[in-house]
Protein backbone atom coordinates (compact mmCIF):
# COMPACT_ATOMS: atom_id res chain seq x y z
CA UNK A 1 0.00 0.00 0.00
CA UNK A 2 2.91 2.35 0.72
CA UNK A 3 4.42 1.45 -2.64
CA UNK A 4 1.10 2.11 -4.38
CA UNK A 5 0.76 5.47 -2.62
CA UNK A 6 4.36 6.38 -3.54
CA UNK A 7 3.70 5.37 -7.16
CA UNK A 8 0.50 7.42 -7.23
CA UNK A 9 2.35 10.51 -5.92
CA UNK A 10 5.11 9.96 -8.48
CA UNK A 11 2.54 9.80 -11.32
CA UNK A 12 0.86 13.00 -10.06
CA UNK A 13 4.26 14.67 -9.95
CA UNK A 14 5.02 13.55 -13.51
CA UNK A 15 1.64 14.76 -14.76
CA UNK A 16 2.13 18.09 -12.97
CA UNK A 17 5.62 18.38 -14.49
CA UNK A 18 4.27 17.63 -17.97
CA UNK A 19 1.54 20.23 -17.52
CA UNK A 20 4.15 22.79 -16.46
CA UNK A 21 6.31 21.98 -19.51
CA UNK A 22 3.32 22.33 -21.84
CA UNK A 23 2.40 25.63 -20.22
CA UNK A 24 5.96 26.90 -20.62
CA UNK A 25 6.03 25.79 -24.26
CA UNK A 26 2.79 27.66 -24.85
CA UNK A 27 4.15 30.78 -23.15
CA UNK A 28 7.40 30.65 -25.16
CA UNK A 29 5.46 30.12 -28.38
CA UNK A 30 3.25 33.14 -27.62
CA UNK A 31 6.29 35.28 -26.82
CA UNK A 32 7.96 34.21 -30.08
CA UNK A 33 4.91 35.15 -32.15
CA UNK A 34 4.52 38.49 -30.36
CA UNK A 35 8.16 39.35 -31.10
CA UNK A 36 7.81 38.20 -34.71
CA UNK A 37 4.68 40.33 -35.13
CA UNK A 38 6.42 43.38 -33.68
CA UNK A 39 9.44 42.92 -35.95
CA UNK A 40 7.30 42.58 -39.06
CA UNK A 41 4.97 45.48 -38.19
CA UNK A 42 4.34 47.87 -41.04
CA UNK A 43 5.95 51.26 -41.30
CA UNK A 44 3.41 53.91 -40.32
CA UNK A 45 2.06 55.57 -43.46
CA UNK A 46 2.41 59.12 -42.19
CA UNK A 47 5.01 61.57 -40.99
CA UNK A 48 4.87 64.45 -38.54
CA UNK A 49 4.86 68.04 -39.71
CA UNK A 50 5.01 71.21 -37.64
CA UNK A 51 5.09 74.91 -38.48
CA UNK A 52 4.77 78.19 -36.64
CA UNK A 53 2.09 80.35 -38.26
CA UNK A 54 2.13 84.14 -38.44
CA UNK A 55 -0.37 86.33 -40.25
CA UNK A 56 0.34 89.21 -42.68
CA UNK A 57 1.38 91.72 -39.96
CA UNK A 58 3.80 88.99 -38.66
CA UNK A 59 1.72 88.28 -35.54
CA UNK A 60 1.48 84.69 -34.24
CA UNK A 61 -1.80 82.95 -35.05
CA UNK A 62 -2.50 81.74 -31.51
CA UNK A 63 -5.14 79.08 -30.88
CA UNK A 64 -6.67 79.71 -34.29
CA UNK A 65 -7.98 77.57 -37.14
CA UNK A 66 -5.62 77.46 -40.11
CA UNK A 67 -6.02 75.79 -43.48
CA UNK A 68 -3.06 73.74 -44.69
CA UNK A 69 -2.39 72.07 -48.04
CA UNK A 70 0.55 69.66 -48.14
CA UNK A 71 2.06 68.47 -51.42
CA UNK A 72 4.82 65.93 -52.06
CA UNK A 73 6.69 66.95 -55.20
CA UNK A 74 8.95 64.63 -57.17
CA UNK A 75 12.26 65.64 -58.72
CA UNK A 76 12.50 69.39 -58.03
CA UNK A 77 10.95 72.03 -55.76
CA UNK A 78 8.47 72.73 -58.59
CA UNK A 79 8.22 69.08 -59.69
CA UNK A 80 5.28 66.77 -60.28
CA UNK A 81 2.75 66.54 -57.45
CA UNK A 82 2.64 62.84 -56.52
CA UNK A 83 0.58 63.37 -53.36
CA UNK A 84 -1.51 66.22 -52.02
CA UNK A 85 -3.83 66.61 -49.05
CA UNK A 86 -5.38 69.36 -46.98
CA UNK A 87 -5.99 69.84 -43.27
CA UNK A 88 -7.76 72.27 -41.00
CA UNK A 89 -5.87 72.43 -37.71
CA UNK A 90 -5.81 74.60 -34.60
CA UNK A 91 -2.55 76.24 -33.62
CA UNK A 92 -1.44 76.26 -29.99
CA UNK A 93 -0.67 79.29 -27.80
CA UNK A 94 2.74 79.62 -29.51
CA UNK A 95 1.25 79.60 -33.02
CA UNK A 96 2.48 76.03 -33.62
CA UNK A 97 0.48 73.72 -35.86
CA UNK A 98 1.07 69.99 -35.77
CA UNK A 99 -0.28 67.47 -38.28
CA UNK A 100 0.41 64.06 -39.77
CA UNK A 101 1.18 64.10 -43.49
CA UNK A 102 -0.67 61.13 -44.91
CA UNK A 103 -3.70 61.54 -42.64
CA UNK A 104 -5.40 64.56 -44.23
CA UNK A 105 -8.17 64.84 -46.81
CA UNK A 106 -6.55 63.42 -49.94
CA UNK A 107 -6.60 65.55 -53.09
CA UNK A 108 -4.03 63.74 -55.30
CA UNK A 109 -2.51 60.23 -55.13
CA UNK A 110 -2.04 58.08 -52.02
CA UNK A 111 0.66 58.42 -49.41
CA UNK A 112 1.30 54.66 -49.46
CA UNK A 113 1.63 54.84 -53.25
CA UNK A 114 4.66 57.15 -53.20
CA UNK A 115 7.67 55.27 -54.56
CA UNK A 116 10.35 56.76 -52.30
CA UNK A 117 13.06 55.08 -54.39
CA UNK A 118 12.29 57.49 -57.27
CA UNK A 119 13.36 60.65 -55.40
CA UNK A 120 14.39 63.25 -54.66
CA UNK A 121 11.15 64.45 -53.10
CA UNK A 122 10.15 67.84 -51.75
CA UNK A 123 7.42 68.84 -49.32
CA UNK A 124 5.44 71.97 -50.02
CA UNK A 125 3.18 73.47 -47.39
CA UNK A 126 0.64 76.15 -48.18
CA UNK A 127 -1.12 77.85 -45.28
CA UNK A 128 -4.19 80.06 -44.95
CA UNK A 129 -3.92 81.75 -41.53
CA UNK A 130 -7.66 82.57 -41.71
CA UNK A 131 -8.60 78.86 -41.77
CA UNK A 132 -9.79 78.54 -45.35
CA UNK A 133 -8.16 77.63 -48.64
CA UNK A 134 -6.82 81.04 -49.67
CA UNK A 135 -3.22 79.92 -49.18
CA UNK A 136 -0.95 82.93 -48.71
CA UNK A 137 2.08 81.34 -47.06
CA UNK A 138 4.03 78.82 -49.14
CA UNK A 139 7.26 77.00 -48.39
CA UNK A 140 9.04 74.09 -50.05
CA UNK A 141 11.94 72.01 -48.74
CA UNK A 142 13.64 68.79 -49.73
CA UNK A 143 12.79 65.62 -47.83
CA UNK A 144 15.98 64.00 -46.68
CA UNK A 145 16.73 60.72 -44.92
CA UNK A 146 13.79 60.13 -42.57
CA UNK A 147 10.97 59.58 -45.09
CA UNK A 148 13.19 57.26 -47.08
CA UNK A 149 12.73 54.76 -44.26
CA UNK A 150 9.39 54.09 -45.98
CA UNK A 151 11.39 52.52 -48.80
CA UNK A 152 13.06 50.13 -46.36
CA UNK A 153 9.81 48.19 -46.00
CA UNK A 154 10.14 47.07 -49.63
CA UNK A 155 13.88 46.53 -49.85
CA UNK A 156 15.27 43.09 -50.59
CA UNK A 157 17.14 43.03 -47.27
CA UNK A 158 13.92 43.61 -45.32
CA UNK A 159 12.18 40.83 -47.27
CA UNK A 160 15.10 38.49 -46.58
CA UNK A 161 15.01 39.22 -42.85
CA UNK A 162 11.26 38.59 -42.75
CA UNK A 163 11.79 35.26 -44.55
CA UNK A 164 14.50 34.26 -42.09
CA UNK A 165 12.24 35.04 -39.13
CA UNK A 166 9.38 32.92 -40.41
CA UNK A 167 11.17 30.01 -42.06
CA UNK A 168 14.67 29.92 -40.62
CA UNK A 169 16.11 29.70 -44.16
Q: 115 by DSSP, 3-state: which?
A: coil
CA neighbor of 50 nearest in space, from 95, 13, 106, 10:
95
pLDDT of residue 19: 54
Counting beta carbons within 10 angstroms of the beta carbon of residue 116, is it exposed (0 to 12), middle (13 to 18) or buried (19 or more)? Answer: middle
Q: State residue 134 phi and psi, 5-degree precision.
A: -95, 75
The dihedral over CA atoms of 153, 159, 160, 164, expressed in degrees to the nearest 10, equals 100
Question: What totals of helices (H) and strands (E) does the chain contain, helices first?
Answer: 3, 7
49 within 8 A of 70, measured Cβ to Cβ? yes
User: What is the residue-level pLDDT of the chain in tens, covering all 169 positions?
Assistant: 544 454 455 444 444 545 556 665 566 554 554 454 444 445 567 889 999 999 989 999 999 999 999 999 999 999 999 999 999 999 999 999 999 999 999 999 999 899 888 889 999 999 999 999 999 999 999 988 655 555 565 555 555 555 555 555 5
CA distances in angstroms from 98 to 23, 48, 84, 107, listed in the order given: 47, 7, 17, 19
Amino acid sequence: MVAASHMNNHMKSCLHSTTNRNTMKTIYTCIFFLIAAAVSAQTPQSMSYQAVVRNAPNVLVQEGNVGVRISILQGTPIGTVVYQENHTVITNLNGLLTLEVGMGSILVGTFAGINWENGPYFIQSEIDPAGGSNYSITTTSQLLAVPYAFHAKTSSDAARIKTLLYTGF
